[in-house]
Amino acid sequence: MKAIVVREFGPAEVMKLEEVPNPSPGPGQLLVRVRAVGVNPVEVYVRSGAYARKPSLPYTPGTDVAGIVEAMGPDVTRANNGDRVYAHGTAAGYGGYAERTVCDQSQVHPLPARLSFAQGAAVGVPYGTAWRALFVRAQARPGETVLIHGASGGVGIAATQIARAYGLRVIGTAGTDKGVTLVREQGAHEVLNHRDADYMARIMPLTGSRGVDVILEMLANVNLDRDLEVLAPGGRVVVVGNRGRVEIDPRKIMSKDGTVLGMTMFSATAEELRAIHAALVAGLENGTLNPVIGRELPLAQAVQAHGAVMEAGAFGKIVLIPT
């Protein structure tokens, strides 16, 4: 089968499409014929070698696959051959940028017929991150207001749909007119363009001068200090994304009884992941959650996909399609 293989850390070009042996599932594992795999920014950081977590070389990137169960190892109770599934993660030593991959059964969830495989490949990291940031970290409650700072990308669209379905008031931001329209279509009550010079000044008036209860921050190194100015009393900022250093005035946290929380999906416990995916599957089934696909590229164009996921002007997910 064909798979993307990384033999050294470095620029996108270190990803090569190679012929590799077909994998076979062990006990409690499934072989998934990959029909689509999501591209996440973290895969770019890891491939570059700059990320704290490094897989041993060589490796195949990719955690968010959707496809068909083709074979099962012993002791699998959660799926059957032929099932449509999405997976959040692959078994140790395997990756999703491939025609086939192996997943532990706990990583695999049913993909409702109403969704495409590309949409299934947009669920794992983005929707898992959004759900954990909102409910595990920020403890968001219906009736509260959330600012989704960077709502046009994979995590932001997921957070917009989840927060809206849960009864939060949603203010989203995007960096292009197209992105602003997209975020509004996903259910945000208000959408601002984070490239407009005065957009942060418009947030307090939108909340009756009270501020926002929760902020999901996709680019903390740019926004964190100004986020603290629009927090409601008792407000919580969750740092989801960050690409550099930032200076903040801690007095702004103090004066609001505020909280700045970190968040990484790598810390999610097995119990959290069970709850998260039970909630997500319910939303995917009942139609409240609808992953948005911005671009589909052939698996052979993984290099271009890694370039595209780091560009401004996000519009949903970028997914790779094996032939």
Q: List contacts with ligand NAP (CB under 6 A).
A: 40-42, 125-126, 129, 149-156, 173-176, 179, 194, 218-219, 222-223, 240-241, 263-265, 309, 312-314
Please report how close the Cβ of residue 64 comes to ligand NAP at its closest, in angstroms: 10
CB 159 within 8 A of CB 151: yes
Q: Which residue is nearest to ligand NAP (CB)?
A: 153
7 vs 243 by CB, closer to ligand NAP: 243
Please report how close the Cβ of residue 299 comes to ligand NAP at its closest, in angstroms: 19
Please report how close the Cβ of residue 37 comes to ligand NAP at its closest, in angstroms: 14
CB 159 within 8 A of CB 130: yes
Q: Helix, strand or coil for residue 215?
A: strand
Q: Phi and psi (nearest 5°) for 278?
A: -65, -45
Please report how close the Cβ of residue 109 comes to ligand NAP at its closest, in angstroms: 18
Please report how close the Cβ of residue 231 comes to ligand NAP at its closest, in angstroms: 16
224: left (phi over 0), alpha (psi -120 to 50) or beta: alpha
Q: Quote the CA–CA distance of 146 and 211 in Å, as a whole number.
A: 9
Q: Helix, strand or coil for residue 282?
A: helix
DSSP letters for 234-280: EEEEEE----S-----THHHHTTT-EEEE--GGG--HHHHHHHHHHH
Please report how close the Cβ of residue 107 comes to ligand NAP at its closest, in angstroms: 16
9 vs 45 by CB, closer to ligand NAP: 45
CA distance from start to end of the chain: 10
73 vs 199 by CB, closer to ligand NAP: 199
DSSP letters for 177-223: HHHHHHHHHTT-SEEEETTSTTGGGGHHHHTTTS-EEEEEES-HHHH
Q: Quote the CA–CA distance of 189 and 191 in Å, as a whole number.
A: 7
In the structure encoding, which two tokens stand for residue 25, read together? 């599932």
103 vs 174 by CB, closer to ligand NAP: 174
Please report how close the Cβ of residue 221 comes to ligand NAP at its closest, in angstroms: 9
100 vs 109 by CB, closer to ligand NAP: 109
88 vs 109 by CB, closer to ligand NAP: 88
72 vs 219 by CB, closer to ligand NAP: 219
Using only the alpha carbons of the chain, give its radius of gyration.
Answer: 20
